């Protein structure tokens, strides 16, 4: 029955519309929303005011999209907040509390170098989709969210450590906080990276999930020059089990330099985790024993620390693609247009290597060294996504690996799902 899942893109007049991307794209049991800017949908202009007014408009736009697909804000499982100034987080938090008054989703907060339209804040969300997207078939409309916090990792009144829905657990981004003291761990980047990963491991142990069930890791770094040191620590955590070591399994991964992080941390790490048992009341045959399918192709750049794409259940999570020529391993010549084309060509090669097509992409995340390159990137983007279906996020960053001008990551639907383990 899983083969009948469809990509369902939707837009409402009550939130800002853009011809290049959809407001929300549902597939199976998740809705992926485009990042929302503080734009008044009536005027198409930035809302008047400062950070408070901008944050309110971002969340109003999210709520309008959620309402338009017959969901409620408590169906949000993850929120990502991008701010221009980390000092604005307290004001954003005050607004955030008015939209999530009891239940709180998982959350990531980072300050970035720039946002589209010179906005002060941009917010995106992932929303559960209990009815799924299989047409004309009975659905598990009463699938439940499962939230969990453990004292062995840092807790926050503004976020839940992990929220499971259907076959995925979404974790809040972890700072290098010692859960006993509530303070940043002593030391430098290595100690901080180790603490972030220890916190993730503690959360997973709290829900009886192995560390190697992680399918995607996102690393947010204050200084990209710290990446080599982070990789040393990272390699001690992945692979984690004998089985994973035997096949050299590592999750898909994206690394981004950010302008600032909460508590002036040097690093923050978030994880997306497979959940083979699903959440009730999924039928036994639909939930037990699903396997992770990791894939690399020589037609795209290969990295020993990340897998190009990791499939689980009905989604493929991709590592962010740099504008590297897979044949030479070097940066493609040219400017941002040529680099954007190479990133998307690499993505297309990976998509085709797993017998999918570009129309199966549900979400695109674009990281730009210079936010003013957006128009040039959009010219290239249109040739790969002429229908404008995927949801999208664009942020400006101060540095990218290999001194690239652009980096692109995607999430791809997986209609056939992944098979259960056969005894």
Domain boundary, last residue among 92, 115, 135: 135
pLDDT at residue 1 is higher than 60: no
Q: Quick one: average pLDDT of 327-339?
A: 97
Please state at what angle helix 89-99 crosses helix 51-68, rounded to 10 degrees: 30
Q: Are residues 267 and 296 in the same domain?
A: no
Residue 420 pLDDT class (50, 70, 90 cuts): confident
CATH of the domain at 47: 3.30.1330.40
Q: Are residues 264 and 199 in the same domain?
A: yes
pLDDT at residue 177 is higher than 80: yes
CB 28 within 8 A of CB 165: no
The domain of 407 spans 292-423
Q: Quick one: average pLDDT of 154-178?
A: 97
Residue 283 pLDDT class (50, 70, 90 cuts): low
pLDDT at residue 316 is higher than 50: yes
Q: Are residues 97 and 2 in the same domain?
A: yes
Instruction: State the Cα–Cα distance between residues 423 and 411, nearest whole angstrom.
Output: 30
Sheet containing 30-33, strands listed edge to edge, beginning at the edge strand earlier in sequence: 8-10, 24-27, 30-33, 121-128, 76-83, 106-111
Alpha helices in 20-68 (DSSP H): 51-68
- Higher-pLDDT residue of 241, 315: 315
pLDDT at 2: 43
Instruction: State the Cα–Cα distance between residues 340 and 334, nearest whole angstrom.
Output: 10
Residue 282 pLDDT class (50, 70, 90 cuts): confident
pLDDT at residue 49 is higher than 80: yes
- Higher-pLDDT residue of 368, 284: 368
Q: Are residues 270 and 393 in the same domain?
A: no
Q: Are residues 152 and 275 in the same domain?
A: yes
**Average confidence score pLDDT of the chain:** 94
Structural domains counted in the chain: 3
Q: Are residues 274 and 334 in the same domain?
A: no
Structure tokens at 79: 């929120």
- Higher-pLDDT residue of 138, 21: 21
Residue 277 pLDDT class (50, 70, 90 cuts): confident
Residue 422 pLDDT class (50, 70, 90 cuts): very low
Q: Are residues 269 and 174 in the same domain?
A: yes
pLDDT digit string, tens, across residues 95-120: 999 999 999 999 999 999 999 999 99
Q: Are residues 313 and 260 in the same domain?
A: no
Q: Are residues 2 and 130 in the same domain?
A: yes
Phi, psi at 205, each rounded to 5°: -65, -30
């Amino acid at each position: 029955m899983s083969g009948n899942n469809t990509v369902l893109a939707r837009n409402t007049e009550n939130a800002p519309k853009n011809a290049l991307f959809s407001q929300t794209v549902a597939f199976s049991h998740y809705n992926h929303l485009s990042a929302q800017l503080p734009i008044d949908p009536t005027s198409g202009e930035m809302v008047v005011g400062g950070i408070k007014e901008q944050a309110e408009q971002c969340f109003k736009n999210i709520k309008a999209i959620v309402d338009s697909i017959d969901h409620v804000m408590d169906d949000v499982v993850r929120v990502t907040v991008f701010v221009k100034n980390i000092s604005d987080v307290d004001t954003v938090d005050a607004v955030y509390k008015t939209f999530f008054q009891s239940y709180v989703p998982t959350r990531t907060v980072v300050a970035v170098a720039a946002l589209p339209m010179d906005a002060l804040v941009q917010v995106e969300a992932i929303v559960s989709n209990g009815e799924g997207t299989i047409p004309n078939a009975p659905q598990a409309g009463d699938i439940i969210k499962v939230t969990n916090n453990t004292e062995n990792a840092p807790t926050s009144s503004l976020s839940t450590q992990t929220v499971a829905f259907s076959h995925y657990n979404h974790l809040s981004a972890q700072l290098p906080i010692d859960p006993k003291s509530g303070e940043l761990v002593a030391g430098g980047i290595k100690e901080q990276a180790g603490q972030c990963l220890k916190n993730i491991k503690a959360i997973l142990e709290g829900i009886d999930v192995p560390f190697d069930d992680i399918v995607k890791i996102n690393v947010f770094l204050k200084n990209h020059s710290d990446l080599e040191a982070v990789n040393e620590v990272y390699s001690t955590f992945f692979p984690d089990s004998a089985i994973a070591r035997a096949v050299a399994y590592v999750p898909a991964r994206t690394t981004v330099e950010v302008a600032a992080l909460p508590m002036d941390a040097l690093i923050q790490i978030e994880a997306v985790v497979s959940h083979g048992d699903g959440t009730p009341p999924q039928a036994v045959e639909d939930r037990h024993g699903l396997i992770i399918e990791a894939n690399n192709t020589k037609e795209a750049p290969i990295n020993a620390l990340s897998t190009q794409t990791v499939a689980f259940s009905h989604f493929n999570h991709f590592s962010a693609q740099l504008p590297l020529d897979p044949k030479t391993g070097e940066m493609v010549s040219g400017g941002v247009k040529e680099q954007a084309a190479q990133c998307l060509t690499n993505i297309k090669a990976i998509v085709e290597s797993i017998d999918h097509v570009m129309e199966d992409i549900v979400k695109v995340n674009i990281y730009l060294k210079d936010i003013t390159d957006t128009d040039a990137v959009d010219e290239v983007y249109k040739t790969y996504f002429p229908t404008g279906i995927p949801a999208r996020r664009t942020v400006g960053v101060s540095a990218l690996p290999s001194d690239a001008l652009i980096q692109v990551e995607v999430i791809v639907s997986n209609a056939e799902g992944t098979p259960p383990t056969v005894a």
